[in-house]
Every structure is written in structure tokens, then in C-alpha cells.
With several copies, the nearest count.
Chain A
Amino acid sequence: MIKVLLFAELEEKAGQREIEYDMEEVSVKELRNKVQEDFPNITGMERAMAALNEEYAGEDTPVHKDDLLAFIPPVSGG
């Protein structure tokens, strides 16, 4: 399983923080599109940064089984 995490507005629109996909390998970009397809009412996916296993990752980074991919909307801490 690949676990996907959504936060802040993404989580609120999706109605859940975690999604699991039964995939072997997929790119960040493909997962981003998949989430948007599965949750069409999510807004702001295109502005969210991706983090693979808690480190920021580019769009073409491959994501494997057992990886954790988080979509990080623009942050506003501090």
C-alpha cells in the first residue's frame, strides 16, 4: 500500500486525512492527479507541495509500495 496524507483545506474538502492506494510504483504527479480525480471537490491540489517520507519531493519522484506521500498546502505556522 502507498499511504497518502492530506492536510488543512485538502483534508477538510476530502473529508479524510489518509488515503491508501494499492500500487507498486507511481510518480508524485500521477498520485496528485489520482487524488484530484477521486476527490473532485478538493481545491488547491495544484498549489500543494509533495513530501515523500517526510522530505519535500519533486513531481517526477517515484513513490513505491509502503511509502508515505503527503500533500502540503502553503504553510502558515509561526
Chain B
Amino acid sequence: MAKGIETMSENNFKVTYEPLNVEETIKKVADRNAGAINTFIGTVREMTNEKKTLKLTYDAYVPMAEKKLAQIGREIAADIPEAKIAITHRIGELEISDLAVVIAVSTPHRADAFEGSRYAIERIKEIVPIWKKEHWQDGEMWIGDQLETTSYPEGKPLYKEATEDD
């Protein structure tokens, strides 16, 4: 039953400066026994509450970020052995509507695909060393820094609902 894990190469979990291609990430999870593929795409949104974003800069601790993305893949496959997972995260300078992250999860049945994809995005926001800098008309700030309440448990942060303004 470890098929999903075997067929998920390191190549399924990437951090890149290149613009993201959704089809490419989806192709990595193709499987004759997949009946469902859920794809989550995070895009650069212009307005957050009353604040207008001009652009974003993402930075990452690349080798560790790719390891942590692969760990998320293994966590999902531990729950859903038939799942295949691929995650690509872009870094560098992003404009409004650019794709920041593409997650694809294929499973035999649809409920698992939704669940795996949702788990992946929540975990990315907890354990993957990638940072976003917001550029507004009146300034800029590394996000995360403003969240005085954010703290990490030792080693492996637990799954929790992240705030929806991320």
C-alpha cells in the first residue's frame, strides 16, 4: 500500500523562482486509479480588508522548505496510502494574480482528495520555512513578524486552523 510514497519523487516538492504551471503539478499526481484530483492554488490577492497590496516578495530557506513539503506529502500518504501529492511553491517577486503555490492531490475517492489538499495548505502555513513580504503603497513588512501571537511548539507544530487572512 506504500505505492503513493514510492511514486512520489523528490521532484514532486519544489520551491522555484519560475512562474508556476498548474498542469505540470497536476501531471505529477496522475494515476490510473485516481478518480479525483484536488488542486489548491494560492494567488496574490490585491485587497486584504482595506489594504491594497502592490506586490509580494517571497523568500525561502530552500533546501529545508523542500524537505518540509516532502514531509507534508508523507504525512498525507500516511493517512491515505493511495494518495499522490505534489506541491510547488514560487519565491521571488510576485505580482497581483500570480500563483504563489500549487498543490495537487490525487486519490481514488473525492473526499480524500479534498482533505489531503486542505491539510497540505494548512501545514505549509505552519512548518514550511517560506516568508512573504507585503508591499503596500505606504510601506512593506515581512508577514508573520506582525503576528505576535504566533509561536511554535518544539519540533513539529501541530495541525490547527490558521487565520484566514494569510
Contact = CB atoms under 8 A, between A and B. Distances in A.
B144 A74 contact: yes
Interface residues of B, number: 36
Nearest to A11: B59
B63 interface: yes
Contact of A12 (B63, B67, B124, B142): B142
Interface string B145-166: 1011011101110000000001
Interface stretch (B17-25, B26-34, B129-137): B129-137
B72 to A, nearest CB: 11
Nearest to B154: A58
Between A51, A54, A75, the greatest number of chain B beta carbons within 10 A of the residue's beta carbon is seen for A75
27 contacts: A7-B59, A7-B129, A8-B131, A8-B142, A43-B145, A47-B145, A47-B150, A47-B151, A51-B61, A51-B64, A54-B67, A55-B67, A56-B155, A58-B154, A70-B64, A73-B144, A74-B152, A75-B125, A75-B126, A75-B128, A75-B131, A76-B130, A77-B60, A77-B130, A77-B131, A78-B100, A78-B124
Interface of B: 42, 58-61, 63-65, 67, 89, 100-101, 121, 124-133, 142-145, 147-148, 150-152, 154-156, 166
Top 9 closest A-B pairs, CB basis? A77-B130, A74-B144, A8-B131, A76-B144, A74-B150, A76-B143, A54-B64, A9-B142, A76-B132
